[in-house]
Chain A
Amino acid sequence: MKQHAHENLTELLRRFMDESAAQAAQADIETAERILEAHPAPFPSPETLATIRALTLAAAARKRHRTQIFRGAVAVAAAVILTILIGRQSPAPTGGPTISFASILPTALWESHDIAADDLDLVYFASEIRHIEAEIRALDSQETEIRRADAVKELEMELVAIETEYWKGSY
């Protein structure tokens, strides 16, 4: 007979019925379970098992890839936000020479008429944002396979992990 998490069936039945009824119920259950044991279900075919192994490997690889992309994107976003916050908290210039601020900008940007296109950092950040959008669309399209709640929960967990790693200095 199966162990069923080591439970004591006799004791359990006696909690709900008298001695004789419990004995009869136990006999019914054990006999029927022996019938089930005597009629084992078929086993999945080797082809099915091979397919499932391949599918799980692919799913694990997809998950790893998604995680890496998401962590990278969030780290970049966090760095941008941090830079903006630090910039805002810096004291305003008090009559200092304007040239000192201009000199920290690359000449190409200083002379640019389209900073969004010429600033490589901005181009990179815009590309990361497009990447995140694509990931979110991909998640939406998988809605039949993965419940949205699960996806959101997973993203939240990833965000917490990234935040922790970020403050540890991993990024």
Chain B
Amino acid sequence: MGRSVELARIIDGCKSGDADSFAQVVDMYAGRCYGYFYRLTGDRDLSDELLSELFIKLVEKIGSYKGGAFESWLFKIASNIFHDHLRGKQRRRKLMDAHRTQLEREPDLNESRFSDEGQIRLERLQVHLNRLDADTRDLILLRFYSELSFKEIAEHRSEPIGTALSKLHRGLKKLRELMEG
């Protein structure tokens, strides 16, 4: 309860253009949003760029936030930014090249750039996430990082809740098999 009151106060601050309130929102959500972008793209520089775009858009659009779950509103913008990014032809080519390079490097996980076990495990998850189709990957990551309910996710994706649930189940099952295989 206290957290939601505090969040409401911060959002009111953002709406009135208070600089500290925007900085607080960045501190609160940058980690989760960055994780979402990073897992979708596998590219730190690109994730930095998308994260910056997200928070600039937040400043521009905060007036249109009319209440409800702030995370839901924020991650919808994040998801739209990622899809806008994918639609850009040049960027898309760059992203696919990056993915291709990453997949080509997959068998070589023991090379020197992975300095410790944790980093290797991190990249292994990224490789397996990239093996899922883009829509399923987006669904899994949106669910995991936004912590939205299935109802909210289904609404955002304009599909029935049963469809979202079924796609997520299949995707997570496949990811589990890949990771455990």
Contacts and interface: CB of A to CB of B under 8 A. Distances in A.
A150 interface: yes
Contacts of A101: none
B34 A44 contact: yes
Interface residues of B, number: 52
Interface centre among B31, B122, B143, B169 (most CB of A within 10 A): B169
Contacts of B169: 25, 28-29
A77 interface: no
A38 B179 CA distance: 12
A93 interface: no
Nearest to B165: A16
A59 interface: yes
Contact of A48 (B27, B51, B173): B51
Contacts of B53: 145
Given A16-B165, A52-B26, A60 B34 contact: no
A40 B141 CA distance: 12
A60 B19 contact: yes
Given A35-B176, A55-B52, A150-B60, A5 B69 contact: yes
Contacts of B59: 56, 59-60, 63
A2 interface: yes
A35 B59 CA distance: 34
B17 A40 contact: no
B30 interface: yes
Interface stretch (B3-11, B97-105, B108-116, B148-156): B148-156
B40 to A, nearest CB: 10
B34 A43 contact: yes
Contacts of A146: 60
A4 B162 contact: no
A35 B166 contact: no
Contact of B149 (A7, A64, A150): A7
B176 to A, nearest CB: 4
B147 interface: yes
Contacts of B61: 150
Given A39-B121, A56-B22, A56-B59, A28 B173 contact: yes
Contact of A33 (B144, B148, B149, B151): B144
A138 to B, nearest CB: 14
Interface in A19-49: 25, 28-29, 31-33, 35-36, 38-45, 48-49
Given A40-B35, A44-B48, A52-B55, 11 more contacts: A4-B150, A5-B148, A12-B161, A32-B173, A35-B125, A38-B121, A41-B35, A44-B47, A48-B52, A56-B19, A63-B17
Closest CB pairs A-B (n = 3): A32-B172, A41-B35, A5-B149
